[in-house]
Structure 1
Amino acid sequence: MTFEEVPERSKWDIPRTERDDPFQFGQRFLEDENAVWDHNAWDHVEWGEEQEIIAREQLEKQKQSPVSNFDKKLYMSNPSRYWDLFYRNNKANFFKDRKWLQLEFPSIYGKATAPDSGPRTILEVGCGAGNTLFPILAANKNPKLQLVGVDFSHRAVEIVSEAPEFDPARIKADVWDLADTSGRLPAGLTEHSVDFVILIFVFSALAPEQWMTAISNIDRLLKPGGEILFRDYGRYDMAQLRFKSGRLLDESFYVRGDGTRVYFFTEDELRGIFGQKFQIDRVGTDRRLLVNRKRKLKMYRIWLQARFIKDSDGDVDVSVSDE
């Protein structure tokens, strides 16, 4: 088995069947190993012993050659600098619009963008170049919807604000760090004013010691009954296993070649982090086998998806779903 990088911009070009349950994650099952090269992707591919052994061996190799202390201080001291450089180099060309949002997060479209939804505010943290904000805006039929996109990269916010799709009457964009410790909230938002917080491949960019600050900031922004919609990297994802020497910052926490950071979560970790403040509605693992049929390569992707809810009366219900 070979672990090879698949750019973020192409991973969602995979056909997905329509479904009502956003945690069902597709319906193409590999029932005959001899048919593996018949399609570009397979859903719900469980690992065998061989894959587990390879993954553990790869992680052990990474631990033998972590990032030097000098470089670690460099990468941890000013992480927004590396995202500024990323967006300066890639502009709006790296990621594709997330057209899968209606399948994966249908509550947005049922509760916020429908014509009769009423006043609603959606906050996307780590908005990047607007690949989540603009598809939501395009599908919106609610005249009272307000979209807010924040990123701690100044350049990312500039890209959103300068995009032809940007509508200042419907979207606000601001530079804001999810792990901000000053108490400042994004421009135009007050405490308990947000209906949905979207976290798509953004929580993984935080250092573990920033997690609880980030959770507290989200808690300040969400209305009672508000939702957190989460998608990020799962433990043993191909992107984790392909890291070579000199990239490991800490347990399951890495620095990419461009200086940006990434953490790979387990379901239990997410429950432990978010369960301290919010009800855990759903946590699921999306396992996908991507196939390069021309080169005969198998690439295993693992993503986690979750929905957390702020309790209406302020008390967290600890009897949560394990699904």
Structure 2
Amino acid sequence: MPVDYEINAHKYWNDFYKIHENGFFKDRHWLFTEFPELAPGQSQDHLEDLPSDNKRSEVPECRTSEDGPGLKIEQHKCSSNSLEHETQTAPVEENVTQKLNHLEICADEFPGSSATYRILEVGCGVGNTVFPILQTNNDPGLFVYCCDFSSTAIELVQTNSAYDPCRCFAFVHDLCDEDQSYPVPTSSLDIIILIFVLSAVVPDKMQKAINRLSRLLKPGGMMLLRDYGRHDMAQLRFKKGQCLSENFYVRGDGTRVYFFTQDELDTLFTTAGLEKVQNLVDRRLQVNRGKQLTMYRVWIQCKYRKPLLSSAG
């Protein structure tokens, strides 16, 4: 039976997203508090020399996703890589032509090749991390990549009204498949995000997955992780028959989850040639008043940096 969960993992995750779609996960309001590396100021230092009027003009563009994907706004953002060439009054036809030219230029290299700050989220789900980043970070040099094991999840990301192909590239990817390449070259990413995704990987495949991701980071680039910690409430609730191997369980829907210790994660990242910046346990008390139960959620949060002078490929 454990072999079935591995072979049919795609099916289980696709079924999960077909059932829950956008309703299961909530926007992560804690994202920029816990990971200020994702906040606009981290990737906008080069904007300080721009005229203040130009910087202000970018703010409303990035915070209008609730108004829908409006063609005029989307084409405006895609029309050029530089602020001085942008205009809000250009005809839609002209903007469409500019967008197509922009995409043709990018196609000769790789998605986001002209970006100055690149973020990749692995295991993006339906975009609850990606979209807050895109909507909050106005940096015209920012490009966000996001991938997921589930093709259904990626379809939900790509059809979301906030998805902008000029600032984001979503793709299906199995981070455990060593023969499947990422759409970016080595040493090209500033940030890699892993939020509740590594725990879904078979334990003996985790190290190679992290090694491959590490090679994508620029020297000084950061890998950010938040995942399930050992003895989390969810682990304690599993019944005996749901344990596939030590600390690795299968849920009722066929998806799997591992519960980490800090040392395990430290070993994974340092073996991949990264240096510890943060490795902490976040314990949150939850009270179910109806059942009169008090339970602890246990998460681990990590930040590891690729050395400026790296010998790890």
Matches within 5 A, 1:244-323: 244-277=239-272, 278-315=274-311
Q: Which runs of structure 2 are paired with 1:93-242 in the superposition (5 Å)?
A: 93-109=23-39, 110-112=41-43, 116=47, 119-185=116-182, 187=183, 189-242=184-237
Listed one character per residue, the Cα deviations across residues 65-88 of structure 1 (whole Å, up to 9, x for unaligned) are: xxxxxx111112231221111011
Separation (CA, whole Å) in 2 of partners of 1:296 and 1:131 = 31
Does the Cα contact within 8 Å between 2:278 and 2:302 map onto a contact in 1? yes
The structure, 1 or 2, with the larger RCO (C-alpha pairs under 8 Å, 6+ apart) is: 1
How many Å apart are 1:114 and its aligned residue?
6.4
Where 1:249 maps in the other structure, the secondary structure is strand
1:73 and 1:192 mapped to 2: Cα distance? 35
Unpaired segments ≥5 residues, structure 2: 49-114
- Superposition TM-score, scaled by structure 1 size: 0.73
Structure 2 counterpart of 1:112, one-letter code: S
Q: Distance in 2 between matches of 1:148 and 1:114?
A: 21
Q: How does 1:48-67 map to 2 (within 5 A)?
A: none
8 Å Cα contact 2:174-2:180 kept in structure 1:
no
Instruction: Say whether the 8 Å CA contact 2:193–2:225 is kept in structure 1.
Output: yes
Deviation at 1:111, TM superposition (A): 1.6
State, as a whole percentage, how many aligned pairs show the same letter: 48
Task: Tell me how far 1:112 sits from its aligned partner.
Answer: 2.5
Q: Secondary structure at the match of 1:182?
A: coil
Kindly report the root-mean-square deviation, in angstroms, between the aligned alpha carbons of the 2 structures: 1.5
Q: 1:213 to 1:111 in 2, by over 3 A?
A: same
When the two structures are aligned, how many residues end up with a matched partner? 244
Report the alpha carbon displacement of residue 113 of structure 1 after superposing the two structures with TM: 5.6
Counterpart amino acid of residue 23 in structure 2: N
Q: TM-score, normalised by structure 2?
A: 0.75
The whole-number CA distance in structure 1 between the counterparts of 2:35 and 2:116 is: 19
Structure with the larger helix share: 2
Q: CA deviation at 1:108?
A: 1.6
Counterpart Cα distance in 1 of 2:11 and 2:44: 34
- Determine the C-alpha separation between the residues in 1 that align with 2:242 and 2:203: 16
Q: Quote the Cα distance in structure 2 between the aligned partners of 1:171 and 1:223.
A: 19
Amino acid in the other structure paired with 1:222: L
Q: Determine the C-alpha separation between the residues in 2 that align with 1:129 and 1:168.
A: 15
Q: Is the 8 A contact 2:12 2:254 kept in 1?
A: yes
Runs of 4+ in 1 over 4 A off after TM superposition: none
Whose radius of gyration is greater, 1 or 2?
2
Q: In structure 1, what is the equivalent of residue 4 of structure 2?
A: 74
Change (3 A) 1:136 1:264: same
Question: 1:115: Cα distance to partner?
Answer: 7.0
Secondary structure in 2 matching 1:91: helix
Deviations 1:23-54 (A, max 9, x none): xxxxxxxxxxxxxxxxxxxxxxxxxxxxxxxx
Tell me the distance in 2 between the aligned counterparts of 1:216 and 1:266. Answer: 19
Task: Tell me the amino acid that sits aligned with residue 136 of structure 2.
Answer: A
Instruction: State the Cα deviation string for residues 248-273 of structure 1 (Å, max 9, x = none).
Output: 01000001000001000001111111
- Give me the whole-angstrom Cα distance separating, in 1, the residues matched to 2:17 and 2:26: 14
| 2: CA distance, partners of 1:252 / 1:269 | 12
* Aligned equivalents of 2:37, 2:21: Cα separation in 1: 30
